[in-house]
Copies of this chain bind each other. A is one copy, B any other.
Amino acid sequence: VSFFSSRWVSEPRCTVQLDGGLPAGFRAAGVGCGIKPSGHRDLGLIVSDSPQTTSAARFGRSSGASAPVLLNRRSAELQGLRAVLVNSGNANAATGRRGLEDAAAMRSGAAFVCGVPESAVAVASTGVIGVPLPMDRVTDGTVAAGRELRRDGELDFAEAIRTTDRLPKHVSLQIELSQGAVRLSVQGKGAGMISPQFATLLVFVQTDAALSPAEADLLLSVCVKRSFNRVSVDGQLSTSDTVILQCSGASGVSVEPESDDERIFGEAMDAALRQIALLVARDGEGARRVGRVHVSGEDQASCERVARAVGDSPLVKTALYGADPNWGRIYQAATAALPGLAPLELEIAIEGITVCEAGSFVTHDEAALREAVKRPEVEYQIRLPGQGAEAERFFSDLGHEYVTLNAEYTT
């Protein structure tokens, strides 16, 4: 089965999916160092051996940013990151000065075992909030991870960064550009609506194409906007969200701004990150369905507000879970998002079946609608008056497993 399994992701041109392996110049490892009581892998390390590596990074905007996020922002060279050290099982958030010291110690350890400058190392942590890291274990684990770095270590790395994710979220691609082939690999973690106490989104992208720092930053920015910024992870922003792109240049093929190659490479990266974002929304054995809401209208802010309101509504999410065709919940969420005395003349279509026009119900094929909302992906189209702006949001359903994992599983 192709990695690109959603109809909402266009299969990229000139791209083939590989069985695995990292792009040229990268090595990775994942070890268990004892942060997780289960003994599972909980410390991942990834390094580019090329000194001319470029990079770009994005972090969540929470004012409760975790210590690693604060450290990266304050003192990492985000355009030249060579190595990334990530632990799961503990978020190192709400840990004060001690947390910052621990994050700095993680960074020193990774720099030492990888033989790169400290400023070329990013760190990330995901897991429980408000508990100090067991640094002796992390230090030993860092040494062990350094010894295990391998060209095909990305699966161990991907496993080490997972917390309660049920679905693996990684892919290796090869993209044919005009000057030769380049590779792109992605490892992610994040389980939308399923275990959001651990719902941090961590995504690491590597390529052996050569990109200037500005180019890398621009591409990452566009792709994050079209993927992770469009997922409703129960409307919550984590303390630790981190996305890092590293470009080793080791393929010898460079991607020039505004070239055909850039479009092809950008399409592949866009598709990969959108598909990872959809896997985040779909994660968990309980999630039955993924929804996509698409809103068009005159004003960008209004479209965004409606898309977010629909995607975050627990009424819409439970209806998605229960395959309930009750479109009144979409109407309610959309109109509540745009308060005002003038009635909103919106149009709503579910899976192409128009149920509301000019703000009022229209007769429709109810049996067809009932069938349509049972599919694994359900699409909601909302048209506000006017045109020129649009917004999109992916969201997971809300079911019993969410409640069980978040309520009954005392953390």
Which residues of A approach B to under 8 Å, CB–CB? 60-65, 70, 73, 91, 93-99, 128-132, 193, 196-197, 234-239, 312-315, 318-319, 321-329, 331-336, 338-344, 346, 355-356, 358-361, 398-400, 402-404, 406-411
Contact = CB atoms under 8 A, between A and B. Distances in A.
A158 to B, nearest CB: 24
B331 A63 contact: no
Nearest to A288: B407
Contacts of A131: 361
B63 A322 contact: no
Given A129-B328, A315-B406, A398-B407, 19 more contacts: A70-B343, A96-B361, A98-B360, A130-B327, A130-B356, A196-B315, A197-B332, A234-B313, A235-B313, A236-B313, A236-B333, A239-B331, A239-B335, A322-B406, A324-B410, A324-B411, A399-B403, A399-B407, A400-B400
Given A321-B407, A339-B61, A314 B398 contact: yes
B406 A96 contact: no
A386 to B, nearest CB: 14
B334 A64 contact: yes
A94 B359 contact: yes
Contacts of A196: 314-315
A86 B9 CA distance: 48
11 contacts: A64-B332, A65-B341, A94-B331, A97-B360, A98-B360, A235-B312, A235-B313, A236-B315, A238-B332, A238-B336, A326-B410
Contacts of A355: 130
A335 B62 contact: yes
A228 to B, nearest CB: 15
A322 B403 CA distance: 9
A403 B319 CA distance: 9
Residue from A329, A398, A406 with most neighbouring chain B CB atoms (10 Å): A406
A197 B63 contact: no
Contacts of A237: 332, 336, 339
Nearest to A332: B239
Contacts of A335: 62-65, 239
A94 B344 CA distance: 10
Residue from A91, A197, A234 with most neighbouring chain B CB atoms (10 Å): A197
A152 B341 CA distance: 36
B340 A61 contact: yes
Contacts of A239: 331-332, 335-336
Given A63-B335, A63-B343, A328 B128 contact: yes
A315 B360 contact: no
A98 B342 CA distance: 17
A400 B318 CA distance: 11
A197 B254 CA distance: 54
B63 A403 contact: no
A126 to B, nearest CB: 12
A65 B343 contact: yes
Contacts of A99: 360
B336 A64 contact: yes
Contacts of A91: 328
